[in-house]
Chain A
Amino acid sequence: AQKVTQAQTEISVVEKEDVTLDCVYETRDTTYYLFWYKQPPSGELVFLIRRNSFDEQNEISGRYSWNFQKSTSSFNFTITASQVVDSAVYFCALSEDEGGSEKLVFGKGTKLTVNP
């Protein structure tokens, strides 16, 4: 069965600190997709990244970077030089469907608070 574990329930940092959000997943499939979503207080889930299981290259987008390691079934997310606007709940999610976009299985989320 699919499962996503985000062991960190809450993290609090001071602005400009770097912070890493952990995500560990379980799946029996060889083809799967991993996602990160951000949920600010407004409630809307904002898509950040999608990764397929065959692409282990790390990705950087501005202050965001992602480290995908199949050997440890992890897909960690790092925010560099955090800002107050980064405060939100961050969800890691897994999809086994070929389309790569439906029936996401979400972790419980990590609430990040960035203090000024």
Chain B
Amino acid sequence: DTGVSQNPRHKITKRGQNVTFRCDPISEHNRLYWYRQTLGQGPEFLTYFQNEAQLEKSRLLSDRFSAERPKGSFSTLEIQRTEQGDSAMYLCASSLTTVNNSPLHFGNGTRLTVT
């Protein structure tokens, strides 16, 4: 079990640029989630996938944000035309839905700084 892996760990970008983050979930997990965490706050749900299908998106996810999980394995989160308010830690998590659902397993996150 290699855990949930996120890349990059840190990203600094200028306002207006596009950024893309990658998440590799635990291999047998069919669900993948994205959360955002700002300083001093708990994580907030953004979106989740079951296999390759995106099942739900939070209203926090503006149209500048897009997430994909094309083959039901890794996922990418892209932010277009970044704003300073996008600065946060972006957390990915995965889980396995069976009769006894596993809890979410989180990665180390990608810290985004928009200057």
Residues of B within 8 A of A101 (CB): 31, 95, 97, 101-104
The secondary structure that dominates the A interface is: loop
Minimum Cβ distance to chain B for residue A39 (Å): 9
Judge whether B103 and A50 touch: CB under 8 Å: yes
Which A residues are CB-close (under 8 A) to B95? Answer: 101-102
Interface residue range, chain A? 20 to 34
**A103 within 8 Å of B by Cβ?**
yes
Q: Which residues of A contact B41 (CB under 8 A)?
A: 108-109
Contact A99 B108 (CB under 8 A): no
Given the known interface contacts A44-B106, A47-B105, the answer about A108 and B89 at a Cβ–Cβ threshold of 8 Å is no
What mask results when residues 93 to 116 of chain A are scored 1 for a CB within 8 Å of chain B, else 0? 100000111111111110000000
Report A-chain residues with C-beta under 8 Å of the C-beta of B48.
Answer: 102-103
**A102 in contact with B42 (CB, 8 Å):** no
B103/A47 in contact, CB under 8 A: yes
Size range of the chain B interface in the assembly:
20 to 34
**In the complex, A42 has a CB within 8 A of chain B:** yes
Q: Tell whether, in the assembled complex, residue A99 and residue B109 are in contact, meaning their CB atoms are under 8 Å apart.
A: no
Decide: B108 and A44 in contact? CB cutoff 8 A: yes
**CB-nearest residue of chain B to A9:** B40
Q: Is A91 an interface position by the 8 A CB rule?
A: yes
On whether A93 and B107 interact (CB within 8 A), knowing A43-B89, A101-B97, A102-B31, the answer reads: no
- B28-70 residues at the A interface, CB under 8 angstroms: 31, 33, 35, 40-45, 48, 56
* Chain B interface (Cβ < 8 Å from any Cβ of A): 31, 33, 35, 40-45, 48, 56, 89, 91, 93, 95, 97, 101-109, 111
